[in-house]
Every structure is written in C-alpha cells, then in structure tokens.
Amino acid sequence: MANKRTISWNAAMRDLRNDRMRRAGVREERLRATAGLRSSSTLSSWRGRSGRRYIVGVHPLNEAELLDVTDAVILAVRRDRDGTGTVIDAAMAASEPAEHTRMRWLAKVQELGATELHIHRLAATDEDRRAIFEDLREDETQAS
C-alpha cells in the first residue's frame, strides 16, 4: 500500500495565491498593458489586502491636483529610487472639497515623504469608496 496524497491543482494554486496575498499586503502592480507606452507612468494599479486590484491615475503631489479631485480614493505615495511605490496615507475625496482639510493632509503627507498622488475614480458610491479606502490602507495608516 502506497502512502500517496493527491491534491487538486486548483486548490493548491488557490492556497498559494491566498498565502501570497496575506504576506504581501498593499502593493503597487504596474499595468502590463501600458508597459511600452510613453505615457505609462500616468496609470498604475494597486493590489489591496483583499487581493482586489484597483486602477489609479498617477498625478504630481501638488495643491491644484488635490483640490480638483472629487468622489475618489486618493493615495499619497512615496516612490523609492528603485521605482517601488509605498502608500504613505490614504484619503477619501467627497463631492465637495474641503480646502482647509485637504491642504492639511497634503502638508502631512509631504512631510512623511510622499512624492505622488494615486487617484482611484472608478467607485460609483460612497460605500464603494469606503470599502476601497479600507482595502488599500495599510494597518498603520491613519484615516484622513
């Protein structure tokens, strides 16, 4: 009698994928479809803690960009020398911008080393934006 254990290929791949997602946390994943384009730096994606992927527009970290954003999830990102992006903080942009609050947040993330704004505009409702915000926020990141 042989002691063989058989495991489903699908189950093994699912377990491997789930394990990798739990360990990796929130991370940027460049879009392969835009790799050869000159403007590829204007789009990127982030993988949330849940494993879901969110497409973002990449913008300069400045006042004008921040004040123009409505109904979106905003990530303040620091780009390292090797090109790796790290979320410094996350915020939800309402339909009516609160200028004073946004300027305070901008000063805070600049002080923490953020160099870019990554903006996700594809969520239709406040509830969807809240779920995405929570998924993309690192545990140590505070709500803004």
Q: Summarize the confidence of residues 109-121 as an average pLDDT.
A: 97
CA distance 124 to 87: 23
Burial 44-72 (b: 16+ CB within 10 A, else e): bbbbbbeeeebebebbebeeebbeebeeb
Rounded distance, CA 136 to CA 41, Å?
Answer: 20
pLDDT at 23 over 80: no
User: Is there a contact between 59 and 65 (Cβ–Cβ < 8 Å)?
Assistant: yes
Q: pTM, whole model, 2 decimals?
A: 0.76
Higher pLDDT among residues 66 and 39, named by residue: 66
Higher pLDDT, 94 or 143: 94
96: buried, middle or exposed (CB in 10 Å: 19+, 13-18, 0-12)? Answer: exposed
pLDDT score at 139? 60
Mean pLDDT of 21-29: 73
pLDDT value of residue 41: 65
Q: In sequence order, what are the beta bridge partners of 60?
A: 116
Mean pLDDT of 97-115: 94
Long-range contacts of residues 96-102, Cβ cutoff 8 Å, at least 24 apart: 96/70, 97/67, 97/69, 97/70, 99/67, 102/66, 102/67
Residue range 40-68, pLDDT digits in tens: 568 999 999 999 999 999 999 999 989 99
> How does the average pLDDT of the chain come out, rounded?
84
